[in-house]
Amino acid sequence: MLADLEELVTCESYSADHEAVARSARVVAAQGARLLGAAPETIVTGGVTHLRWSFGTPRTLLLGHHDTVWPMGTLKTHPFSVEQGIARGPGVFDMKAGLVQMFHGLAQLPSLDGICVLVTGDEEVGSETSRALIEEAARACRASLVLEAAAAGGALKTCRKGVSNYQLTVRGRAAHAGLEPEKGINAAIDLAHHLLALQDITDAVTARTGPGTTITPTVLSAGTATNTVPAGAELSIDVRVPSPAAQQAVHDLITALRPHHPDAGLRIDGGPNRPPLDADASKDLFALASETAARLGMDALQQAAVGGASDGNYTAGVGCPTLDGLGAVGDGAHADHEHVVTAAMPVRAQLLTHLLGAMP
């Protein structure tokens, strides 16, 4: 398993580099073919490479991704290593160890009949090209098991917030900041009013739908020169919501924003990306996983609600029961301290094997 993990991690797969993702897909396909005894279908959509294995008439979807957030060349500063039971490297936790565990867990089954495996190449950037594939597969299945990394302490993820993304673009008018600033329309100032309004929107949504919604301004830019009134300004907004009602309320309030200056312009792009994964979608599968772990003599499984989203949000969103976080045990997704506890890898693979064996 460690040799397979090294093979995947040392093939960098930054989401924005489609050629790198294609190379990674070839490595993942070869590894999966060796362990599953069949080559996958390679699907390229919008330049992004995805892989799909189908055995018989699928009843259970196993879902993962092979792209990472790490730019090409990260291996030079974050090389793959295994020391004192800890594996490190870009994407090792999110989620290449999960892919290794999935392949090895499936390889122990006497038959793969009824299994669909989908490994996408753009999960880290919102799954724009793979969403239709995911939802199509989930609609045809009775359950979805997501091999994303576990929550703290190895907990399974039984509840995830939904995600929306917005881009505000303000159009003002440039003018010389020293000679005639009054002739300009300062896009940065207009955008600042929208920035401050986001807290009011958060409060309003919380009052309507309950706690848990976060609206976070992220990337902000304005102007072109230090002596010029900014003619343009842009703001990116990350939204996390606990319920569909909250997601709709945020959308209604953000899209209702209007320019502060009467002669300024405002364009609002974006909207809901992933629906929330409600705990009810995971309830029965978590109970089955807990019974399986107990039967195997493993530590009692824990569950967690998390703010991060995954493609499991999509499978739950189309009504397919979904259990997430079945992948690697470790920490540091998207961070310099990303790592995996290697001793947990065969244990989690075994859990997957027996959970699949226990499913109707």
Q: Which two tokens stand for residue 150?
A: 């576990």
Per annotation, catalytic residue among 123, 190, 311, 331: 123
Give the residue extent of every domain in the chain.
Answer: 2-160+276-358, 162-273
pLDDT at 248: 98
Written as one letter, the residue type at 244 is P
Residue 48 pLDDT > 90, yes or no?
A: yes
Distances (CA, A) of 146 to 2, 65, 210, 271: 21, 10, 28, 25
Total Cβ atoms within 10 A of residue 267: 10
Rounded mean pLDDT, 124-153 = 97
CATH of domain 2-160+276-358: 3.40.630.10
What would the pLDDT profile of 344-354 be if each residue is shown by its tens digit?
Answer: 999 999 999 99
Considering the domain delimited by 162-273, tell me its CATH architecture.
2-Layer Sandwich (3.30)
Asked about 67 being catalytic, the answer comes back as yes
Angstrom distance (rounded) from CA 165 to CA 237: 6
Rounded mean pLDDT, 72-77 = 98
Question: Which stretch of DSSP H or E encloses residue 87?
Answer: strand 86-88
pLDDT at 296: 97
pLDDT at 340: 98
What would the pLDDT profile of 183-197 be if each residue is shown by its tens digit?
Answer: 999 999 999 999 999
Nearest to 345 by CA among 356, 334, 329: 329
Angstrom distance (rounded) from CA 286 to CA 299: 14
Residue 58's pLDDT band, with cuts at 50, 70 and 90, is very high
Rounded mean pLDDT, 29-46 = 98
| CB hemisphere CA count around 76 (13 angstroms) | 3
What would the pLDDT profile of 222-264 be if each residue is shown by its tens digit?
Answer: 999 999 999 999 999 999 999 999 999 999 999 999 999 999 9
Written as one letter, the residue type at 348 is R
Total Cβ atoms within 10 A of residue 93: 29
pTM over 0.95: no
Produce one character per residue of 136-157: b if its CB has 16 or more CB atoms within 10 Å, e if not. ebbeebebbbbbbbbbeebbbb
pLDDT at 360: 82
Per annotation, catalytic residue among 67, 94, 122, 338: 67
